[in-house]
Amino acid sequence: MKTKANNFNLISQQFLDDYAKNQEPIRVNFKKMVEDIKFQDRATHSIHIYPAKLLPNIPYFFLNNHFFVKDNELVLDPFSGSGTVLLEANLAGKNSFGCDSNPLAQLITKVKTSNYDISVLKNILESLKIEIKNITMDGNEKFPDVVNIDYWFLPNIKFQLYAILKTIKTIKDDDYRDFFILCFSNCVKKVSLADSRISVPVKVKVKKETNNFHPFFDESRSKLKNLENINVFEKFTDIVNDNIRRFENKQKITSKRQTTKIVSEDARNLNLPDESVDLIISSPPYAGAQKYIRACSLNLGWTELSGKDNLRTLDKKNIGRENYSKSDYLTLKATGLVEADMLLKEIYIINPLRAHIAANYLLEMKQAISEASRVLKKDKYFILIAANNQVCNREFKTQEYLRQIAENVGLKTMCRLVDDIKSYGLMTKRNKTASVITCEWVLILKKE
């Protein structure tokens, strides 16, 4: 570990020296720089799916690197999502703080960074296997408040899911119950009629496919066939066993008991004292890209983290959201960033809503970056990972605008790294007016 830390340390020094000479972005490949670790199988990274997860190689590089952070220092991710940065911080011997507006993200992070007694997890699973046989549903009981439950779930599956949830609720210990709720949540979309290859729920195609032998339709057909006779508890048990194995792996990597805490649900108000954090690493949302709440709506409903009427309220907390009423964009807001404002004026003429989404995104990110800067100690680093986007077929230089915002709140750009992300999880087709992200920018910012 020491050699690796020294090596990353030297590479980082070189990056900063080179950038200081000519201010040119440096091409890198994080997959190659951190190639000896199989992140897919590493610890608990894969306990639950989540949209736009960060490539763990990136935080790994900065967290195992004395140039940026020392042992036992405090790491923050203000947009922590499923907790990729926070878990890697723990594995690197650092305590970490997270913040995310999505309650499912908070639950994934909490479980992912917990330490469980493996034998207790196995014993609980055995007792659930017995308990599930006695579960009944009487006339007064209601299904959880899942959006369009009958559209997304076949009747037999709905009952089976309900029985599993009721069984899990008999677990008395909150932390252990959360582990099983998380496994249950990861089962939900797999047994729904939603296509698991698409982030937001879209029903698997069943019609018009009789003459179509494309693998896409074959997969849909076989999913539907399986769902008719599926034993959901068996599927749930497989997920539990896989996740128990992940916790066993995690314990092999580290015996240290670093902690993680979710400190807030809004990156614009972190509930932390001034200059209290040693390193920030974060991949913020983009304007109108991922629909985090819609993507998780079935999970949020079944885990009872949010009923259907609350989904809108949750979405409103999201920076980069798309849902606005017409009265919100009767005029275009100025962001104070010259290039962005010129572009947004052009876009406003073609599509006022898209212009408003992007402008409001930048204004809200300004608040979040300013808040992150407030809690960061002097002479410490903020690693901001972002990409460019397209809005109405025009390049929207998200990473450049975020960098300008960071500079305006007193952070200095020490280096810009650019990585070709062809095979990363962020490669999703966006709405009609946005396009595919192809490069990830890693901005190394310092509070002076």
Ligand X SMILES: C[S@@+](CC[C@H](N)C(=O)[O-])C[C@H]1O[C@@H](n2cnc3c(N)ncnc32)[C@H](O)[C@@H]1O
* CB nearer ligand X, residue 133 or residue 422: 422
Inter-residue contact 427 to 437 (CB < 8 Å): yes
CB of 321 to ligand X, least distance (A): 8
Inter-residue contact 314 to 103 (CB < 8 Å): yes
The yes or no reply on residue 31 touching ligand X (CB under 6 A) is: no
CB of 9 to ligand X, least distance (A): 24
Which positions from 148 through 177 interact with ligand X, judged by CB under 6 A?
none
Closest CA relative to residue 62, chosen from 4, 139, 132: 4
As separate numbers, helices (DSSP H) first and strands (DSSP E) second, the chain gives 17, 10
CA distance 134 to 386: 50
Segment contacting ligand X by CB under 6 A, of 96-104, 176-184, 220-228, 429-437: 96-104
Among 15, 79, 180, 233, the residue binding ligand X under the rule CB under 6 A is 79
* CB nearer ligand X, residue 201 or residue 285: 285
The yes or no reply on residue 319 touching ligand X (CB under 6 A) is: yes
Closest CA relative to residue 151, chosen from 201, 209, 101: 201
* CB nearer ligand X, residue 152 or residue 424: 424
CB of 103 to ligand X, least distance (A): 9
25: exposed, middle or buried (C-beta count within 10 Å: 0-12, 13-18, 19+)? Answer: middle
The yes or no reply on residue 285 touching ligand X (CB under 6 A) is: yes
Among 160, 297, 318, 404, the residue binding ligand X under the rule CB under 6 A is 318
CA distance 176 to 123: 11
CA distance 313 to 309: 8
Among 42, 53, 94, 189, the residue binding ligand X under the rule CB under 6 A is 53
Among 292, 302, 361, 381, the residue binding ligand X under the rule CB under 6 A is 292
382: exposed, middle or buried (C-beta count within 10 Å: 0-12, 13-18, 19+)? Answer: buried
Among 64, 102, 192, 237, the residue binding ligand X under the rule CB under 6 A is 102
Closest CB to ligand X belongs to which residue?
A: 81
Give the Cβ contact number of residue 431 at 10 Å. 11
CA distance 54 to 120: 31
For residue 37, give Cα distances in angstroms to 32, 84, 253, 309: 10, 15, 12, 43
Per-residue contact string for residues 105-124; x = within reach of ligand X by CB under 6 A: x-------------------
Per-residue contact string for residues 251-280; x = within reach of ligand X by CB under 6 A: ---------------xx-------------
Give the Cβ contact number of residue 435 at 10 Å. 16
The yes or no reply on residue 50 touching ligand X (CB under 6 A) is: yes
Q: How many residues bind ligand X (CB under 6 A)?
A: 22
Among 317, 333, 394, 430, the residue binding ligand X under the rule CB under 6 A is 317
Give the tokens for residue 112: 């992912």
CB of 55 to ligand X, least distance (A): 8
Among 100, 315, 400, 440, the residue binding ligand X under the rule CB under 6 A is 100
The yes or no reply on residue 73 touching ligand X (CB under 6 A) is: no
CB of 346 to ligand X, least distance (A): 26
Q: What is the enclosing helix (H) or strand (E) of 216? A: helix 215-229
Site residues for ligand X per CB under 6 A: 50, 52-54, 79, 81-82, 84, 99-102, 105, 266-267, 283-285, 292, 317-319
